[in-house]
Chain A
Amino acid sequence: GQQVMQIPQYQHVQEGEDFTTYCNSSTTLSNIQWYKQRPGGHPVFLIQLVKSGEVKKQKRLTFQFGEAKKNSSLHITATQTTDVGTYFCAADEGNRDDKIIFGKGTRLHILP
């Protein structure tokens, strides 16, 4: 079945440093979503990417969808303590299967 690989699994960064997490699929995706889960909380939708090569920004967060629509990345510039949490990508192949597949997530820890 479809699998979505997300790397790294964990990342520790000094506050103010940048952070990037990557999401890779062996199959072409229809679209990809990104979620953030704070410690003890529930996943919260951040963004959805649909077009090949699409780049979207939300303040310090930059999301990219690869040209081949098989990979995506989330980049955070100048991390802050409020960025702590786990970031998940969720992939949709766009076939008749009505579910999306979540990656295992990247847990971001910020060192003050």
Chain B
Amino acid sequence: NAGVTQTPKFRILKIGQSMTLQCTQDMNHNYMYWYRQDPGMGLKLIYYSVGAGITDKGEVPNGYNVSRSTTEDFPLRLELAAPSQTSVYFCASSYSGTRHYEQFFGPGTRLTVL
């Protein structure tokens, strides 16, 4: 199993540009998450999904959109990129039943907005 894969690994955007960060997992997990991590800081939840067709906002959703059309894929869309969105973006997935189980993280996408 590849686990959680993210593309691209690195990206530089100009202010106002848009892009989609891709995330795919092959573990048949129902839960998927998007986090951002600013330099030297913790993880902030952007959006999460408990299954295909269902998404919900996390702590910092402004400026982002997500969709979950399949169990495997959970893309994150940035519209009108701003310097404040410079960060490392991690996608994660987990199985969840009556309680939360461990989250498996992808390698991250390092995004710079200039």
Contacts of B31 in A (CB 8 A): 98
| Residue A52 CB within 8 A of the other chain | no
Instruction: Confirm or deny: A53 has a beta carbon within 8 angstroms of a beta carbon on chain B.
Output: no
Number of inter-chain CB pairs below 8 Å: 54
The bracket for how many chain B residues form the interface is: 20 to 34
> Per-residue CB proximity of B65-95 to A under 8 Å, as 1/0?
0000000000000000000000000101000
Q: Would you call the interface of chain B mostly helix, strand, loop, or mixed? A: strand
Interface size on A, residues (CB 8 A): 24
A64 an interface residue at 8 Å Cβ cutoff? no
* Assembled-state Cα–Cα distance A102/B59 (Å): 11
Which residues of A approach B to under 8 Å, CB–CB? 30-31, 33, 35, 41-45, 48, 50, 88, 90, 92, 94, 98-105, 107
What is the interface of chain B, defined by CB distance below 8 A to chain A? 31, 33, 35, 40-43, 45, 48, 50, 56, 58, 90, 92, 96, 99-108
